[in-house]
Structure formats: structure tokens, C-alpha cells
Amino acid sequence: MPSSRTRSIVKRLAQHVLTAVALACVALPALGQSDADLLRAKDAFDRGDRRRLDALAPVLKGHILEPYVAYWQLRLALDDVDADTVQGFLARNAGSPLADRLRVEWLKALARRGAFDLFDREIDNVAGDDLELACLALQRKDRKLGDAALEPVRSAWFTGQTTPDACDPVFASLFARDRLTNADRRARMRLASEAGNVRLAQALGSDQPGNERITAHEFAQVDRDPARALAKASFAWRTPSGHDLALYALERVARKDAAAARTAWLKMRDRLTPDERAYGDRRIAYHAARQLDPAAFDWYQRAGAPGGSTDEITWRIRAALRARAWGDAAAAIAALPPAEQREPAWRYWKARALAAEGRADEARALYAALAPELGFYGLLAGDALGRGAEQLRLRSEPLAADAIALGTFAARYDVRRVAKLLELDMRPEALREWSYATRGQTDEGLLLAAEYARRAGLYDRAINAAERTTARHDYGLRYLAPFQAEFAAAARDQGVDEALLYGIARQESRFVPDIVSSAGAVGLMQLMPSTARWVAVKLARTDFKPAHIASVELNTQFGAYYFRYWHDRFDQRPALTAAAYNAGPGRAQSWRPAAAPLEGAIWVETIPFNETRDYVKKVLANTVMYARALNQPYVSLTDRLGIVAPRGADAAALAAQTP
């Protein structure tokens, strides 16, 4: 039997070997010939070139992404591939995103081929909410189970978006059984109009029977000049179609100019039914609120008690906040569906409303429940409780770096696929693989995955895993601060708060240096090429070349300069500047209050663009957390938001300065 000393040496040697394996897996190799062939195969798949893809497949045997090649081949051959081949792939790749995606597409192909016996046997193996597949399944179940099988898809009718063709027979069955009615068709036409889906709205209007039908000619008359058609109001008032066309025109006009729509609306609304009048009143108030029209709150009140869609109610809340009408804000929050009321935003604003009405104890209870969540509203709740820096004395419990555990995780086949996919810039595929690789993990498993990703330089995946823990947290991983030398230099050279730069980069790129957005923005700070050229001129960087935009040093310096440039022009208010960074300075300026100053938190809450509103909240919350990580003096989120002053310079003038 070996001695204890020998066993100790063997154990240490094994740990060194495993550490070496982990580091080998973490280090991403240079692009090789087989990788180039893999990318050629992907291009062939994207182009639908089966012959080229089949020719490349043998070269890629043994490649870590060989299952992707097989998946692409099957996808292009699904209309004639045999069941054994597909089922063999599904068995070999069980539990992977490729298998789940192929099963869904295969079932759709089986339905197209009329292979319903096999379809029926396989349909119960599919999880998820693919509407087209659900409708195909319901068509089959309808023949066996009767009316009950149709009920689950009924709710899918009530959308402003186009639904798959496979759902049309199911909808037809619902109409034939009076489970859907002409009134439901008219309701969906409104939803389509609200969503800006003009083609669907017109198709639904044209499908109506008798005097409820709107002809293509009638739609065309409105579409040529919606404002003129609304003002003229020459609709067929004695028919349901005339009423529907009037509301269609109202929506088209109010979307761009709620005040103009209301002027025409007041002259014609008495010709409509009470329900139609209430609907039109709400739509005008909704669009006015999104256009930040000071009259929006009054128009909402004139529309009656809070009601309508969730969007209409949430914008009623925002209009009340902008008018400082706390009682009305509370009433509108109470009118939201219960699940929506539990959202952090509405819990916070309900607490604010309670506090404004003198119900301090109830408000404090809501703040206390919200504060531990540490997002935008949790931080504001902590401020309201007066917790200050105490709220950020967080218990971070990092996972000890265990070489064996890290080596085991890094050597996993699915994790190695993630690393290779990211290396080849196949980000959508990598994100799906990472989601599967880390789903169902304990907090310790997620922290292990995050630590692996950090060491591999996969910072976005590290943050993704670390921020999903529920009880044990590592805030150093949640708020990673890579590229410290570059961010510190950019902050110093350009006179910008380093915590704010990190807050922006975490939201913009999750610290992926070479990431390129769909709009063409590049790098950590997501600079557009035109912006980078403009900054290069301002900084007299004669060495700048477009190919350099992704450089960490240049990207952080240019991003910091661009942010500071607008920060100086927006009263040193980071919320305004973050909005300008995301949506453009002209828009940010136009969103400022017209007259009286506005509390910063209310200003953020009433940003009209959903994406920008969410962006600003996250950047500001990130900044507070990074200030903590950088040991900066404590500044509350409430103080950072401050007060937003009324408009000064014209929005168009500011926009003209934008590169």
C-alpha cells in the first residue's frame, strides 16, 4: 500500500493535471483550417446550399461543432429525411438546444408532409410555446377531442401581431363554433391598429361580413392622409364599419399628434357608442402621455375611471406622476392586473403615493420589502428608508476556486462548445448553449460557471450566471470590472466618473470587446463608426482608423469623451446623458419638462421609449454598484438622479451637433 506521503504527492499531481486541462480548455485557440471550414458550412446553411454543405461535412468529422453541421444538414432536408435519421440525431444530442430546435422543426415538416401518425406520436415530447406547432397539434386534437382542444389557442387570437398560417384552421373552427365572433374580429383589428400592424388591421376589417366590412378603397382613403380623413369625418356613421374606420383613422393620427387627433375627435365622438367613445378617449390620452403632452393627465381623467389595456393604464400612472397627482397614480396602479402590480416599478410608486397621502407605515412596509432587490427601485426604496451606504454593505460569498471542479466544468462538452462558438463569433448559438449548460444549477453551480467564464474572459457569460443566484451571491462576479487600466485611464483623461463608465459598458456590451450590434455599434462602449470619426477629430487623434474601433483603449477613451461631451450639455445629469447616449441627444432634450423642474426618478419613469427607459435605469443602478466596488464615496441613487430642469436649448439644435 502506498504511503500517505506518496498518496499526497499523487493527489497534488492530479490537481496540477486537472488545472492544466482547465487552462487548456479556457484558452481559446487561434482560428484553424477546420474552423474556417465550419464557417463555410454555416454560410452554406444560411444560403440554403445543400450541395456545398454536404461536401464540407466529411472534412468536419470530429470537430467540436460537428453536431451543428449535422443539424444544418437535417434542417435543409427535413421535408424528405427519414424518421430514423432524425431520431438518431435527437438521441445523440438529447438535452441540447439543437435537439429541441430540430424536434420542433421536424414536427412542422411532418405536418407539411401529412405524416400525422408520426406527428401524433412525437408531439407530446415537445416543450415550449411555439404557436405554429401548438396550432398544428390542435388541428389534430380537434379531430379526436372535440371543442375542448380548441380552447387553449383562443387567447392567441387576441394579438396585434400576425399569427402563423397553421393557426387559421383553428381560428376558423372557433368561429364556426361561436367561440370567436365578429366582435372578436373587430377587437383584434383594434389591437393590430394599436400595434401599428396596418396590413393585419386591414385584412381583419376586410374579412368582416355585411355592413361591418371595410373595403380596400375605404382604407386607402384614410391611409392617403389620415389627419385629413379624421378632420373631414365623412365615415359611414350608420354602419359598424364606419365606426371602426373612424377609430382606425383616430389611431393613425394620434400616434403622431395626439393633440391634433383630439381636436378632430371632439367634433365626431358623439356619433359613436359609449364604449367606442371611452376607447377613443383612452387612446388619445395614452398617446398624449407617451408624447409627454402636459394635457395627458387631464385627458385621462376625462376618459373616466382607470381601465383599458395594461399599456394604457401604465401610461396613465406615468401621466399622473408627471402631474404629481399621487392619488390618481395609486388608483391607476390598483387597476393593473395583479401580476403587473407586483412589478418593482409599481410597488415603488405605490409606496411613494402612500407616503404622499400620509400613510407612512404602509409606505415603509413596501419600501422594506423592495429594498433588498438592489435594482433601480430597490436602491430608491433604500434611499426612501434612509439606509444610505448601509444598504450596500452586502454579503458577498465567493466560491473558492477549486481546480478540480473548474477543470471538470471546463472539460464538459457543452461548455467547450460555448467557448468555440464564441471564438467563431456565433453568439446567438453560444448564448443558447450557455443557457442550456447552466439551467437548473444551484447557486454554487452558477458561481462555478461564472468563475470559469471570468477566467476564460467570457465576461458576459460570467455576469449572466452570477446574477441568477438566489441566496448565495458574489457581487464581484455580478459587477465584474475587467480592463481596469483602460477604464481608469479613460475616466481620468476625459473627466468622467469611472463607476459611470463601467455602468454604461456593463449595459452596452457586458464587456465583450469586439461585439457589434445589429445597428453597427462596436466594442465595449458601443460606438457607431460615425461617432468614432467625430470623436477622433475632437481629440485630434490623427492615428485613428475605423479598424481600431474595437480596441479597448480607444473604445473606452472615445466612449468616455462622447459621454462627457453630452454630460456637460445636460447639466451634469447622468440620467439625461445616458438617455442621450442610447436614444440621441435631440430626443433626450425633447423629453425634458416644458416648464417646471421634474424629479429625476419621475423623469426616468416617463421616458417614452421602453428600451431607453430600461437602459437608463440599469446604467444608473449599475453605477451605484460600481461606485461601491471601486470604494468611492457614497452617493445615493436619488442624489444621482437629482432634478431635471426644463428645456433650454432646442432639441433640434442639440441633434444637429450629433455626429
Residue 120: CATH number of its domain: 1.25.40
In a domain, 44, yes or no: yes
Contact 585, 654 (CB under 8 A): yes
Structural domain tally of the chain? 3
DSSP string, 224-274: H-HHHHHHH----TTSHHHHHHHHHHHHHHHTT-HHHHHHHHHHHGGGS-H
Residues 268 and 134 in one domain: no
Three-state SS for 644? strand
Q: pLDDT, tens digit, for every residue of 379-414?
A: 999 999 999 899 999 999 999 978 999 999 999 999
Q: CB atoms < 10 A from the CB of 431, how many? A: 17
Residue 101: which of 570, 446, 436 has the closest Cα? 436
pLDDT at 153 over 90: no
In a domain, 217, yes or no: yes
Distance CA 608, CA 590 (A): 11
Distance CA 108, CA 123 (A): 10
DSSP state of 634: P
Three-state SS for 450? helix
Q: pLDDT, tens digit, for every residue of 258-300?
A: 999 999 999 999 999 999 999 999 999 999 999 999 999 999 9
Residue 104 grid cell? 420542433
Domain that holds residue 649: 484-656
The model carries a pTM of 0.91
Where among 256, 278, 304 does a domain terminate?
304
Residue 614 grid cell? 430600461
Q: CB atoms < 10 A from the CB of 33, how many? A: 8
Torsion region of 527: left, alpha or beta (phi above 0 gives left; psi -120 to 50 gives alpha): beta
pLDDT at 429 over 80: yes
Q: pLDDT, tens digit, for every residue of 51-77?
A: 999 999 999 999 999 999 999 999 999
Q: CB atoms < 10 A from the CB of 497, how many? A: 21
Residues 236 and 118 in one domain: no
Q: At what angle do helices 274-290 and 258-268 cross, to 10 degrees?
A: 160
In a domain, 74, yes or no: yes
Residues 529 and 580 in one domain: yes
Distance CA 584, CA 530 (A): 13
- Give Dmax (Cα) for the chain: 101
Residues 91 and 226 in one domain: no
Residues 491 and 584 in one domain: yes
Distance CA 529, CA 572 (A): 25
- pLDDT band for position 30 (cuts 50, 70, 90): very low
Residues 222 and 289 in one domain: yes
In a domain, 477, yes or no: no
Residues 46 and 107 in one domain: yes
Q: What is the mean pLDDT of the chain?
A: 92
Q: pLDDT, tens digit, for every residue of 322-353?
A: 999 999 999 999 999 999 999 999 999 999 99
pLDDT at 2 over 80: no
Residue 533: which of 525, 545, 522, 524 has the closest Cα? 545
Residues 492 and 591 in one domain: yes
Where among 304, 326, 348 does a domain terminate?
304
In a domain, 104, yes or no: yes
Residue 578 grid cell? 445616458
Residues 507 and 638 in one domain: yes
Tell me phi and psi for residue 598, to 5 degrees: -135, 135
- pLDDT band for position 137 (cuts 50, 70, 90): confident
Residue 124, judged by CB atoms within 10 A of its CB (0-12, 13-18, 19+), counts as exposed
Integer CA distances (angstroms), 329 to 136, 174, 306, in order: 44, 39, 10
Gyration radius from the chain CA atoms: 29
In a domain, 353, yes or no: no
Residue whose grid cell is 407530446: 124
Q: Residue 649 belongs to a domain with what CATH number?
A: 1.10.530.10
Residues 67 and 130 in one domain: yes
Residues 539 and 632 in one domain: yes
Mean pLDDT for the stretch of residues 461-471: 96
Residue 348 grid cell? 415603488
In a domain, 456, yes or no: no
List residues bridging with 599 in a β-sheet.
Answer: 643
Where among 304, 333, 366 does a domain terminate?
304
Residue 37, judged by CB atoms within 10 A of its CB (0-12, 13-18, 19+), counts as middle
Tell me what pLDDT residue 655 has: 57
Q: How far out from the chain centre does Cα 229 lie?
A: 36
In a domain, 435, yes or no: no
Residues 565 and 614 in one domain: yes
